[in-house]
A and B are shown apart, each in its own frame.
Chain A
């Protein structure tokens, strides 16, 4: 008889993560975990701590307390783990304006330590997948907002990360591109990639996420699988939390 396989550790596990910013606590004692193939929607009003949380998960910002485990390993101790395992699209897709689309992908691949042959293959595939091939020689500085966003996404996906961290990925995309993005995210999840996305669009969450977490004033107020009746129930939960917070503040 075969011995049962040991359970795989979650792709991402946050334990008591805290971060102070500009004299206030932006994120407080955040516990969160994400399994392979899960798509988590991170919701919250402006200033709730979503972008800070994502920047910490991506390794761009160090938490003041707590730990972040990536595939069971503490990546605060080994920041190089982020190089292979995480793809990050920050809000507004920052780019180097003097480099072309192709050069961006090559630079990101090299920064992630990809071998040359893999990089060329992955670059061509992602250019094709995100419909960037026609503008591959164009400078990033002259791209439209939607093209910038797609290039940022391509850079995040290039090295086939186990965890994809997206901050407002549908920003500036037209409706056709939004549908394509949803389909891409579902495809990645089906292939085992864990995705965490922050958005203000509840429709975005109901369309692609199988779990939702709501942050408010830096604390996790809600974390559950997406309700069965989806949009209406999520909208009600979100507004209950947001309005309760405002009433308390008033």
Chain B
């Protein structure tokens, strides 16, 4: 299937470029440091927490807090989501913008692939890379599973939420790359859009509004529910809708490229 041929080509390009490896290594190092700090805080408070009825445990205070500082209210910087706001644009910036600047995009058009197949093939490659990255990040708190009591259901919901957020950011990144002539422009645009989508409701929250349109529009609103362990179909639909809108815009732009030449 030629869509998979595009995915394979893009994965190969991602794997041979040093940027992907450097980003992954630095991000995982930061997450390792974050894990050590979260664990230290947890151990310091363990006795006090054990005395509380239904007090938070290792899953709430360490494993889920690895995913986000912003949403979980953790005082430490850069959970997976905050890192992804920077990592994903850097990863996706070259998917189509560099094809355009190197002149290889017409080669893909000439191989009989539709604009949707090209874009989806590339998106799938980005998604595979992000899933592997998330798995490695997840392995850090899970490595203590034999010595701690993990709430697997809550962790699965939180991981699903984080993966969906990565998928949205990936779709935005690929779409920005489809629009931009240069990878750097695509990265900046994806970073700005990702930031805006994540905290567009900050003002509304400060004003005490928690159920308006801006809150619905913000990714953090939907992710928060999943990080609390609640899987709601309304939230899942929001993520799928955001992915579909971003990819549809990217496909439209690629099709216009093919028409314009």
Contact = CB atoms under 8 A, between A and B. Distances in A.
Interface stretch (B110-118, B124-132, B134-142): B110-118
Contacts of B6: 111
Nearest to A139: B16
A90 B104 CA distance: 9
Contacts of A98: 13, 16-17
B13 A83 contact: no
B110 A82 contact: yes
Contacts of A103: 12
B18 to A, nearest CB: 10
B104 A94 contact: yes
B12 A107 contact: yes
Interface string B11-27: 01100110000000000
B112 A110 contact: no
B104 A60 contact: no
A60 B109 contact: yes
A99 interface: yes
Contacts of A113: 2, 5
A111 B106 contact: no
Given A92-B103, A96-B102, A58 B110 contact: yes
Nearest to B15: A98
Contacts of A55: 106, 110, 261
Nearest to B121: A111
Contacts of B113: 111
A58 B102 CA distance: 18
Contact of A112 (B104, B111, B114, B259): B111
Contacts, number: 79
Most buried by B among A61, A81, A82, A99: A61
Contacts of A132: none
A99 B13 contact: yes
B13 A110 contact: no
Contact of A81 (B5, B109, B112): B112
Most buried by B among A60, A82, A92: A60
A99 B16 contact: yes
Contacts of B9: 96, 107, 110-111
A165 B116 CA distance: 25
Contacts of A96: 9, 13, 102, 104
Given A94-B102, A110-B8, 20 more contacts: A19-B261, A52-B261, A61-B106, A62-B259, A79-B112, A79-B114, A80-B112, A82-B110, A83-B111, A88-B110, A92-B103, A94-B106, A95-B104, A96-B102, A98-B16, A99-B12, A107-B9, A110-B2, A111-B6, A111-B111
9 contacts: A55-B110, A82-B112, A94-B106, A96-B104, A98-B17, A99-B13, A107-B8, A107-B9, A108-B111
